[in-house]
Amino acid sequence: MKSATRCVEGEDVGAVTLLLPIIGAALGIVGYFAALTWLLVVGAALCGLNEFLNVASGTYKVPFVALIFVVVGVALIIPWYVGAMLGLCGAGALAGLSEVYGRMKERMS
């Protein structure tokens, strides 16, 4: 798997790859629990944009983890579209946390 922090001809896009999924997941989860549908939609859209950018840049060939999270969300939460958005936010949270872990591991070595 390619590093998501250097995917555009050596340009550093690390802030985007770190903040986009974390902010999206946080907004989505807060929107769900605060019953603010617009905030949930914005958070899910940011997480979806992050998945799109990962696929478009070649970091992922197919976003299996996001697909699994969305399918589980659809299966468990009614209405289905809220489950899909929460699944996307969960995948975004996982992507953000894995990016933080990768950066910490990189700095340690």
In a domain, 89, yes or no: yes
End-to-end CA, the chain: 19
In a domain, 85, yes or no: yes
- pLDDT (0 to 100) of residue 43: 97
In a domain, 7, yes or no: no
In a domain, 2, yes or no: no
Please give the tally of structural domains in the chain. 1
In a domain, 87, yes or no: yes
In a domain, 6, yes or no: no
In a domain, 48, yes or no: yes
What average pLDDT does the segment 81-85 reach? 96
pLDDT band at 1 (very low <50, low <70, confident <90, very high): very low
Considering the entire predicted model, what is its pTM? 0.83
List b or e across 9-40, with b for residues whose CB sees 16 or more CB atoms inside 10 angstroms: eeeeeeeebbebbbbbbbbbbebbeeeeeebb
Inform me whether the pLDDT recorded for 66 exceeds 60: yes
- pLDDT (0 to 100) of residue 42: 97
What average pLDDT does the segment 27-53 reach? 95
In a domain, 27, yes or no: yes
Q: What is the pLDDT of residues 94-106, one digit of tens each?
A: 999 988 898 888 8
Inform me whether the pLDDT recorded for 35 exceeds 80: yes
Domain with 43, as residue range(s), is 14-108
